[in-house]
Amino acid sequence: MRKFIVTGLLLCLVCGGFAFGADEGAAKSPVELLEEKMQNNINIVWTCIAAFMVFFMQAGFAMVEAGFTRAKNAVNILMKNLMDFSMGTIAFFVVGFSLMFGASKGFIGWDGFGVGDLAKAGDDWSWTFLIFQTVFAGTAATIVSGAMAGRTKFKAYLTYSIFICAFIYPIFGSWAWGSLFHGGGWLESMGFCDFAGSTIVHSIGGWLALAGAMVLGPRIGKYGQDGKPKAILGHNVTLAALGVFILWFGWFGFNPGSTTVGDGEIGRVAVTTNLAAAAGAIIAMIVSWIIGKKPDGSMSLNGALAGLVGITAGCYTVTPIGAIAIGAIAGGLVVLSVYFVDGILKIDDPVGAVSVHGVCGAFGTLACGLFNAEGVIAGSGESTGLFYGGGFGQLGTQFAGVLACFAWAFGLGMVLFLAIKATVGLRVTEEEELKGLDITEHGMEAYSGFQIFNM
């Protein structure tokens, strides 16, 4: 696996089924054939379990987003989480997977590789690869709901969720990860490295969330007459914390699972992932403590997520010390970014999705060029195990990928949400927003029997 990465110019995510059979020249011995077969089965077991853990992140996102928003909109945000994954699953199966992994000339894959062919091909690896990629697409999709919480029409959100999994996510994905199956994209041929998707999954979601929150405008009451932001507290921090623990757990599928190979690299990637999350939580707590005089619970939880998003690109290529550095910086960055987006840009992002996934995803992708170890990444400058082994070229390439992602996701997001606004309508009425989306959109409330203040 490692050799493949070294020689294979940043094919960061390699399907196990392909790792073998590379040198078909000589006839294989029974022992070699057995190794292929057994390793393939180990890879499948591991990759499937990792996929299931990534699926479980949906529960984490649902709890974080519901917990950090108001009780009167809880059913609505849960429905959005359920539906973006459900509609995303079908959309990615019917269209997205083909666009992302079909044979490609570098920009969009399309060779009819899809539903029918996958069913016919039916080789062992295809199905495992499909379920793994489906849950990744679902992750990108579900990031957006939090930033648009409390004011978005349900129909509008359903429309969006088809587009992201059918087109927006998979086309960008084909540029950077297309060669994992059939195709091959321009970003990966440049040497862009994003092992598990800081940019390809998280920033895509984050920049779409930014576009959505901008087109929507802030919730009623978010900004006072003086333009200063008011905190609108979430209704259940306990569930938000549960959500963060679930996400942290699922990330052990997300990052180590992206090796798609059942070998010792799993443990190594798990270590970097865990260290970054821990460092992110600690530093976010400290920075919030300095700025706000008290260690803030929401910020600390978002700090753990920031560390996880940050390490996602470089989890395979950085040292543990590099991972701590990335996590720590991401943890500080997310606090500053939340204040910046909320207070300076005056964009209302109820759960901090833009900062966590967009900003820290971009940072993590750049950091992947700075902190890589042992010249694993092509370009091979010297490495002390902590700093800068990629050469400035690598950093430039990373920057290009980050920029391409922003242009693509934010640009298309603006077009999409403006188009939805002009057709289906994007935002509920003022009366609906004040009453809460649970009653007005779904005819039910989340906490029947509890005395709740309407805020």
Please pick, from the candidates 15, 81, 349, 360, the single residue that binds a second copy as defined by CB under 8 A.
Answer: 81
Q: By the 8 A CB rule, do 255 and 326 touch?
A: no
Binding to a second copy, residues 280-309 (CB under 8 A): 281-282, 285, 292-298, 300-301, 304
Q: Is 53 in the site for a second copy (CB under 8 A)?
A: yes
SS3 state of residue 448: coil
Q: Is 451 in the site for a second copy (CB under 8 A)?
A: yes
| CB-nearer residue toward a second copy: 187 or 305 | 305
132 to 13, 178, 450: CA distances (angstroms): 12, 14, 40
| CB-nearer residue toward a second copy: 153 or 357 | 153
Binding to a second copy, residues 152-171 (CB under 8 A): 154
Choose the stretch contacting a second copy; rule: CB under 8 A; options: 84-92, 340-348, 363-371, 393-401.
84-92
Q: Report, in Å, the least distance between residue 63 CB and a second copy.
A: 6
Nearest Cα neighbor of 366 from 322, 300, 332 is: 322
| CB-nearer residue toward a second copy: 71 or 190 | 71
Exposed, middle or buried by CB within 10 Å (0-12, 13-18, 19+), for 229?
A: middle
Q: Report, in Å, the least distance between residue 221 CB and a second copy.
A: 13
Chain Cα centroid distance, residue 106: 23
Binding to a second copy, residues 354-373 (CB under 8 A): 373
Q: Is 244 in the site for a second copy (CB under 8 A)?
A: yes
Q: By the 8 A CB rule, do 244 and 301 touch?
A: yes
Q: By the 8 A CB rule, do 140 and 201 touch?
A: yes
Which residues partner with 229 through β-bridges? 223
- What would the DSSP string read from start to end of 378-411? TT-----SSS--SHHHHHHHHHHHHHHHHHHHHH
Please pick, from the candidates 18, 20, 110, 127, the single residue that binds a second copy as defined by CB under 8 A.
Answer: 127
Q: Report, in Å, the least distance between residue 405 CB and a second copy.
A: 27
Binding to a second copy, residues 178-237 (CB under 8 A): 233-237
| CB-nearer residue toward a second copy: 20 or 249 | 249
Binding to a second copy, residues 13-32 (CB under 8 A): 29-31
Nearest Cα neighbor of 114 from 124, 100, 132 is: 100
| CB-nearer residue toward a second copy: 382 or 407 | 382
Q: Report, in Å, the least distance between residue 365 CB and a second copy.
A: 23
**Neighbour-count burial for 126-153, b at 16+ CB within 10 Å, e otherwise:** bebbbbbbbbbbbbbbbbbbbbbbbbbb
